[in-house]
Amino acid sequence: MSKLKIHDPIKFLDDYRGKVFNGEWPTIPEMFDITTERYPDRACFTDFEGPNGAKNTLTYRQAHEKIVQLSKWLAANGVKHGDRVAVTGKNSPEWAVVYLAALYAGAIVCPLDYALKIEEQENLLSVAEPKYLFVDDEKYQRYIEKSASYKVYALSPKYQDKYVYNLSTDEDPEIKRPEENETAAILFTSGTTGKPKGVMLSHKNLVSDCYIAQTHMPIYHTDVFYALLPIHHAYTMLAVFIETISVGAEVVFGKSMAVNRLMHELKEGKITMLLGVPMLFNKLIQGIMKGVKEKGAFVYGLIRFLMGISYFVKKVFKVNPGKKMFKSVLEKANLATIRIAICGGGPLAKSVFKLYNEMGIDFVQGYGLTETSPIIALNPVHHFKIESVGKYFVDYMQMKILDPNEDGVGEIAVKGPMVMQGYYNMPTETSLMFTEDGWFKTGDLGWLDSENYLMLSGRVKNMIVTEGGKNVYPEEIEDKFQLQSDVQQITVQGYIADEVKKSEELEALIYPADDLFKRLGVERDGANATVVYNEIKKDVEEVNKTLLPYQRITKITILEKPLEMTTTLKVKRNYKK
């Protein structure tokens, strides 16, 4: 067993094996049954959708009753084992109830990105072919008006006769419960045009990954998770929603990243587990450090000195003095109750990672893909490495680097119980993702250190090869700009600098931040292009000083509009060179 394993989060399942479940892992419904038996009266699903933003909470017992009620209704109204049930909407207890009820009914759940246009969602629905679609109030009426093969019901109480909590039956239909190796969910990772890819994840994929992740990070029934990022995404679905219900913790559903609402929910929800993406954590720490700077140069210098001491003590003696040292700062940012903050969905700059730990927040990074359920690496809180996205789970899975170069960098490949079943109805595309001997190819480049910690370099398809034959990973350069307040968005790509030699150099596509225009006292229009360019150039030159010659940006393009982003706030790299 790994020396870093702090506790065994899986052992308690032995008490229920042969009683509640018979396989190696429980299914998701069996897992929820176990948790409800253990913690029936603890808070389960919470939102702030009451009058004037009041708090609403379902206990595990109440949530279980609603889930079973809906599952019976689904079965009584034509949903059979293996059928699909789709759900799309902002994060909510209703969304969670539909997700679990579909599984209790023996169906496969298909969560759709609510940010997609209806036409794009219909493309996914045509592949999934669900019996039912549950949708929020923003799109409900438009779906009702459409002629479709599936029936449409509401996540919102605005439509009482079709509202999910009001669907019940007096029948007691026979339901064939799912087994651990059967598909639980189909998650669509792409395909807004053309044929979409639906990642098939089994109950075993999701439940095993949920408990295995806890071997690097203990979570407790007293924790409160914050589902701020869209819950249809594999990261939030597993690391927040499923992790929560595996231990009897509480999940607070956030619907918006608007600062006022976020601050209110962090404070009133008494959040202990905050999971986010680099953009969220960059904004939060920028706000904190801005407030510290406003106290004057002396106070700022003193606090930075104390932060350095805090970090040293934490790394060397494995204790966290920063939580008390900077209590007032954390309380002002509504982060004082945070026990652990986790960044996923992309690598975070080392400087940002370090700042949070200096402030006394146990802050770690994780790594994974939708196809791996998704977590395959996670930094243990008490032995983290700021340059790493985590240590892979050596006791439960395998990881290796394919065709490493002289620096040990190559494509990351894995085997383990969390690796997907395949792409829905796409056997050819599925086979391309695996080596002949069964290793899943992540498409990410990286290297492993002697302690099995993973360092990311970038995506295989994004790698740029310079004239001198050097490999450049644009993500590594973009990370250097994460604390540059003038830069809201940056994407690095290659461009042909010499048409004769066909030599490739680096171009930065930059969308300047609103704060830059405020500071300069100018409008965001072409008339001020030169002054804005000159300021951005200073930032680029500052970063270039920290880079090797072949990594430096030689061309800057200022964008008038931001590039399109995914729901986890990463740029969609579908721009043209």
Q: What CA–CA distance (Å, rounded) separates 373 from 248?
A: 21
Q: Which residue has the tokens 């308690």?
A: 12
The whole-number pLDDT of residue 480 equals 87
Residue 576 has pLDDT above 60, yes or no: no
- Strand-strand pairing, 250-253 and 273-276: unpaired
The whole-number pLDDT of residue 207 equals 98
The whole-number pLDDT of residue 574 equals 58
Element housing 198 (H / E): strand 198-202
What are the structure tokens assigned to 196, written together? 């979409």
The whole-number pLDDT of residue 266 equals 94
The whole-number pLDDT of residue 287 equals 87
The whole-number pLDDT of residue 502 equals 55
pLDDT more than 70, % of the chain = 95
The whole-number pLDDT of residue 193 equals 46
* 222, amino acid identity: T
Q: Which residues contact 381 (CB under 8 A, 6 or more apart)?
A: 217, 340, 362, 364
What is the pLDDT averaged over residues 131-135? Answer: 98
Pick the closest to residue 102 from 120, 118, 124, 79 (CA basis).
79
Pick the closest to residue 349 from 166, 475, 446, 459 (CA basis).
475
Residue 73 has pLDDT above 90, yes or no: yes
What are the structure tokens assigned to 200, written together? 């098939």
Q: What CA–CA distance (Å, rounded) separates 95 from 254?
A: 12
For the purposes of burial, counting CB atoms within 10 Å of the CB of 387, is it exposed (0-12), middle (13-18) or buried (19 or more)?
Answer: middle
For the purposes of burial, counting CB atoms within 10 Å of the CB of 249, is it exposed (0-12), middle (13-18) or buried (19 or more)?
Answer: buried
Q: What CA–CA distance (Å, rounded) separates 197 from 429?
A: 9
Q: What CA–CA distance (Å, rounded) separates 394 from 185?
A: 26
What is the pLDDT averaged over residues 60-85? Answer: 98
Contact 366, 342 (CB under 8 A): yes
Residue 537 has pLDDT above 90, yes or no: yes
Range from 74-78, 316-320, 371-375, 410-414 carrying the lowest mean pLDDT:
316-320
Residue 439 has pLDDT above 70, yes or no: yes
The whole-number pLDDT of residue 174 equals 95
Pick the closest to residue 366 from 275, 284, 279 (CA basis).
275
User: Taking CA 272 as the corner, what is the angle to CA 453 and CA 454, rounded to the nearest 5 degrees?
Assistant: 10
Contact 251, 46 (CB under 8 A): yes
Range from 52-56, 271-275, 391-395, 423-427 carrying the lowest mean pLDDT:
52-56
Residue 282 has pLDDT above 70, yes or no: yes
The whole-number pLDDT of residue 192 equals 42
Could you tell me the pLDDT band of residue 501, with boundaries at 50, 70 and 90? low
Contact 365, 340 (CB under 8 A): no
* Per-residue pLDDT reduced to its tens digit, 333-379: 999 999 999 998 777 888 888 999 999 999 999 999 999 999 999 99
pTM of the shown model? 0.85
Q: Could you write out the three-class secondary structure of 348-414?
A: CCHHHHHHHHHCCCEEEEEEECHHHCCEEEECCHHHCCCCCCEEECCCCCEEEEECCCCCCCEEEEE
Could you tell me the pLDDT band of residue 211, with boundaries at 50, 70 and 90? very high
What are the structure tokens assigned to 198, written together? 């639906």
Could you tell me the pLDDT band of residue 33, with boundaries at 50, 70 and 90? very high
DSSP state letters, 148-191? -SSEEEESSTTSGGGBGGG---S---------TTSEEEEEE-S-
* Per-residue pLDDT reduced to its tens digit, 147-168: 889 999 999 999 999 999 999 9
The whole-number pLDDT of residue 190 equals 56
The whole-number pLDDT of residue 543 equals 92
